[in-house]
Chains A and B, each alone.
Chain A
């Protein structure tokens, strides 16, 4: 109680602007964004850097196979995008999630893959957003933009969705009552048992996780995080997660795409 005695009022008045600044800082975009790569051990980095060692490359190959698999209407992804993906719009890949004029909402790269799958290839729809085939295709496609900076644009129609994503990032949830910000804004570099916390960027996704030995999409990772702090995980592809993906891409804008990265 000593802190708020009258003789300390001046001190409090001096501290208040600082505290407010701290509160604002809660929702900053990184001035010095660091890829999760920089928080990994040298061994894991070496694993990622070597295409023959990186287990995520197997999923890229799976994606490549699906990319040139002929649908009933005689089309493949390669019919439009080139069999090796060389006609893909690389600049566009770095911009996802983008605003869809037809759907009047943001869509992720994975959404776009589902749309092509259903409308262009006229395949039977994949029921789940995180169908392994969709993950494989996304991994292959985003791998084509390897080394290019994340370049999401939030100044246009995506602004309100970005704001919603930011609110979600800072909203506590679950029995442990944590938000993304608590680990990834406050404590990157600190240890959680043996695991080093990162800034939680999305530039490596879909990413190979050593923890579950498979390639995980971003929304699968959101679900794992939320499950861990004992929150009810939302559905992959849900509006909240799409908004969160948008926000996370925005705070990590400029980081080089590393798909498929190797992470803990």
Chain B
């Protein structure tokens, strides 16, 4: 009797663990974001990618983060807490008073559309077109559509 009860208790515990475990696993792997198509019209991408709305505060963080936008590696930006700004690209201070939103979006998404020899990475290019890409980045854009819109929203605050 005792043995049987213990067996039941043990199997119930195992079942519980399995359910919890799979829930945790499911949470760790969110479904990959779809790749949204975009269209260049008159040197600009006027429509927000995927129709998303950007968050400027988050965009500022992405601009600094090495593994995200890392914009300051090449651009001078009004982000004073960062000691070192690169100067490979043009300064982005006051960029919103020089360029329209759609033009800024195009430069981030894929500057090569208008300047084929640029060093500026395309942060939202069709990932099927990469050459010799590292395994962990296969099939992925550099930033997600939401992150692109966040950075655009942040840059639009630099007037």
**10 A-B contacts, Cβ less than 8 Å apart?**
A1-B43, A174-B134, A175-B134, A175-B140, A176-B121, A178-B121, A190-B86, A191-B85, A197-B88, A229-B121
Q: Does B95 contact A (CB under 8 A)?
A: no
Would A190 and B134 count as touching, CB distance under 8 A? no
The docked-state distance in angstroms from the alpha carbon of A190 to that of B134 is 26
**A232 CB contact (under 8 Å) in B121, B125, B135:** B135
Would A192 and B88 count as touching, CB distance under 8 A? yes
Taking CB atoms and an 8 Å cut-off, the chain A residues in 179-212 that contact chain B are 182-183, 186-187, 190-194, 197
Q: Does B74 contact A (CB under 8 A)?
A: yes
The docked-state distance in angstroms from the alpha carbon of A8 to that of B130 is 35
B contact set with A: CB distance below 8 Å: 42-43, 72-74, 83-88, 112, 117, 119, 121-122, 125, 127, 130-135, 137, 140, 142
The docked-state distance in angstroms from the alpha carbon of A224 to that of B17 is 43
Considering the complex, give the chain B residue whose CB is closest to the CB of A179: B119
Q: A192-B88, A194-B84 are in contact. Are A171 and B134 (CB under 8 A)?
A: no
B35 CB, nearest partner CB in chain A, Å: 14
The docked-state distance in angstroms from the alpha carbon of A241 to that of B146 is 38
Would A175 and B119 count as touching, CB distance under 8 A? no
How many residue pairs at the A-B interface have CB separations less than 8 Å?
Answer: 74
- In the complex, the 10 A-B pairs of residues with the closest C-beta atoms, listed nearest first: A182-B119, A194-B84, A173-B132, A175-B137, A176-B121, A193-B84, A190-B88, A191-B86, A192-B86, A231-B132
With a cutoff of 8 Å between Cβ atoms, the chain A residues found around residue B132 in the complex are: 173-174, 226, 231-232
Would A174 and B130 count as touching, CB distance under 8 A? yes
**B134 CB contact (under 8 Å) in A182, A183, A231:** A231
Would B73 and A193 count as touching, CB distance under 8 A? yes
Would B133 and A230 count as touching, CB distance under 8 A? yes
The docked-state distance in angstroms from the alpha carbon of A17 to that of B84 is 38
A2 CB, nearest partner CB in chain B, Å: 10
Q: Does A177 contact B (CB under 8 A)?
A: yes
**A175 CB contact (under 8 Å) in B74, B84, B88, B142:** B142
